Amino acid sequence: MKEEWKTKNTNNFRVDLSFSDIREFERTKHVHRLHPYLGKFIPQLVEVFLKKYFKKDDWILDPFVGSGTTLVEANILGMNSIGTELSVFNTLICKIKTKQYNLEEVENEIRDILKKTQRFSTFLKSKQKKWSKENIPNLKINSEYFNSWFSKRALKEILFYRNLIKDYKNQDILKIILSRSTRSARQVPHYDLARPKKPIKKKYWCIKHKRDCEPVDEAMKFINRYSLDTIKRLKEFQKLRTNKKIIILQGDSREIKLPLPKKSINGIFTSPPYIGLIDYHDQHKYAYELFDLKNNNKREIGPMFNGKSVRAREDYKKGIISVLKNMKPYLKNKAKVFIVINDKFNMYLEIAEKSGFIIKDVFHRPVMYRTERDNTKFSESIYYLEKA
């Protein structure tokens, strides 16, 4: 069957949709790696479909925008885009990736806050007993999570950096740097950053490094690394981006209203939640608590905590149908819709029919690279729908 997939995909797209020949740094090019995100699709997949089925100046919609992959790729190809997202933190990631910056100003601020945090970190490592009170904010957080998953030193470095953010203009990009650093500074195995079950406080055998490793004891090395990496990635994307419009809306795609005329969107490229597979809010628990963000996990479609029961599947179908019906009036006649999903329960035939769409084709692809450390075989379907 997979040979059939490969032949069909190669005939249609002149490329193997497994993208097995794409190296890691190409799959995470420029702003696509500004912040880790469990469940995002490979940018090359978006690029291939947008190039084949759409043209410059078209409007592309992603009602499950996630970390913004579709919007970034559409912009590079000279297409306008709009995305909606339930998660407040995901929306922040999208806006950071797609925003046009004064790069000199951003770099100066990133380096300035980095320098101040480095001095504080040096103080923590030294045997000095005194530090001027005006330079030490209240380095405490009322969070069982933070007090359990981080070393005392890492937590102080994180909170020190957080306290400084308010003094800068480009606060959102600084939050993303700190969030990314905080994720890496958790006391979890190096090989299990995606879905750690509990903090680790003792030396352990590390599958990634093939040796005994100690739990992470600091955040500073990550803050330093990701600060410089962020500057580099923003500059890389700046050279590729176009002046096309990018609109990002935070809200529930089942009911949100778009600031565009009816029948103005040429198509959709999206990847809805995979039923019962990922807790899209909990994966960024550290960011929600660190920045006191509103958590909308109770509104997720197909959340992991609902499982994959018959009832959960019915709720999932209703949710996706509601989204497609809500977005349908904004689509032009014959608009093309591409949905990337692992449809193991064969729900999307019914979803398409009840939403008022015709299935034109279905493409399949094996997923060769996984965020998680497992060897489970995994595949995706790309449903090609058309507005009836």
pLDDT of residue 3: 85
CB 93 within 8 A of CB 39: no
At 270, which amino acid appears?
Answer: T
4's tokens: 């059939």
Residue 360 counted as domain residue = yes
Whole domain around residue 31: which residue ranges? 2-91+242-283+297-387
Residue 127 is predicted with a pLDDT of 61
Total residues found in the chain within this entry: 388
311 and 175 share one domain: no
Q: Write down the pLDDT at residue 129.
A: 57
* 161 and 132 within one domain: yes
Are residues 58 and 27 part of one domain?
Answer: yes
CATH number of the domain residue 323 falls in:
3.40.50.150
State whether 11 and 69 are in the same domain: yes
Q: What is the pTM of this model?
A: 0.94
Q: What is the pLDDT along the chain (388 residues), one digit of tens a residue?
A: 678 898 999 999 999 999 988 888 888 999 999 999 988 889 999 999 999 999 999 999 999 999 999 999 999 999 999 999 999 999 999 999 999 999 999 999 999 999 999 999 998 888 665 555 555 667 889 999 999 999 999 999 999 999 999 999 999 999 999 999 999 999 998 888 878 888 989 998 888 888 888 899 999 999 999 999 999 999 999 999 999 999 999 999 999 999 999 999 999 999 999 998 888 889 999 999 999 999 999 999 999 999 999 999 999 999 999 999 999 999 999 999 999 999 999 999 999 999 999 999 999 998 875 544 544 567 899 999 998 8
Structure confidence at residue 241 (pLDDT): 97
Structural domain contains residue 96? no
Q: Is residue 172 part of a domain?
A: yes
- E strands, 45-148, are 59-62, 80-85
292 within domain boundaries: no
In three-state secondary structure terms, 265 is strand
d(CA 208, CA 187): 15
- Any domain includes 264: yes
Number of domain units in the chain: 2
Same domain, 256 and 273: yes
What is the amino acid identity at position 128?
A: Q
Q: Are residues 43 and 16 in the same domain?
A: yes
